[in-house]
Amino acid sequence: MRSRNRRGVSSIEFAFCMLILLPLLLGTGVTGIDMILTLQTVQLARDVGHMYARDVNFAQPGNMTIVGNLGSSLGLSTTPGSGTAVVILSALTYVDVNACAAVGAVDGNGNPTSACTNYQKWVFTQRVLIGNQNVRSSNYGSPITSGPTGVTVDPVTGKITQSDYVKKAGAVANFSGVNPYQVINGQAQGLPSGQVLYLAEAGATGFNMPPFVSNATTYSFNFF
């Protein structure tokens, strides 16, 4: 027969166990939800990136509707500044001797002059933002559009003129190269002169539950 002095002990033990188990359960749930959101972000960056690399015109409402549908589970809105997700699309190219020559920034011997400001650098040739840009910024920088070194980004297509991305430092990207391409003597080896790399980045507001997870943001990128 159980002693009267031991009554209620199991309830106390259970209460102490729950002090550990409940936070573990909540933390696991929050982490699991954020993992799902991360997978959705990866898929969004991949899908929109494939569209971008195939020269889809995102200025057309129909194409924007497709993007909005792809990111609907993350709260992506095609209205600028709205929603809880963002897609950042960038086109990058390497400024070599041929790029300098195309804008007349070479001397009589064909060597780049000081006018070819971005010689031997990777630059933006286009930038398209979809959704709420306050959610996440690009890991590769952004075109500078103000000041003496600023470039002009077309408000509809997001394109930057060749003269701007060759001559103005505001077009330089925070990017040094991508394997298996190497820059040797000012030339991108393995990459045709003027070749464009397409970069798709996606970010979304994650599931937050302080103190387990605070200010969670999912992110993914792909090069094409």
Most confident of 25-29, 76-80, 174-178: 76-80
- pLDDT at position 4 is 59
pLDDT digits 0-9 by tens, 2-18: 555 555 567 777 777 77
- pLDDT at position 24 is 73
Per the DSSP assignment, residues forming a β-bridge with 89 are: 128, 200
Question: Which residue type sits at 49?
Answer: G
Cα separation, 137 vs 219, whole angstroms: 10
Cα separation, 178 vs 165, whole angstroms: 19
Q: Which of 158, 173, 172 is nearest to 80 (CA)?
A: 158
Cα separation, 21 vs 11, whole angstroms: 15
Q: Hey, where are the domains in the chain?
A: 7-223
Q: What's the average model confidence in pLDDT over 160-180? A: 90
Residue 194 predicted with pLDDT over 90: no
Residue tagged 């159980």 (tokens): 2
Integer angstrom CA distances of residue 166 from 53, 91, 159, 161, 190: 22, 14, 13, 9, 21
Of all residues in the chain, the percent with pLDDT exceeding 70 is: 89
Q: What's the average model confidence in pLDDT over 152-173? A: 96
pLDDT digits 0-9 by tens, 46-88: 999 999 999 999 999 999 999 999 999 999 999 999 999 999 9
Residue 170 predicted with pLDDT over 70: yes
Q: Give the global pTM.
A: 0.83
3-class DSSP string for the chain: CCCHHHCCHHHHHHHHHHHHHHHHHHHHHHHHHHHHHHHHHHHHHHHHHHHHHCCCCCCCHHHHHHHHHHCHHHCECCCCCCECEEEEEEEEEECCHHHHHHCCCECCCCCECCCCCCCCCEEEEEEEEEECCCCCCCCCCCCCCCCCCCCCCCCCCCECCHHHHHHCHHHECCCCCCCCCEEECCEEECCCCCCEEEEEEEEEECCCECCCECCCEEEEEEEC
- pLDDT at position 34 is 75
- pLDDT at position 207 is 76
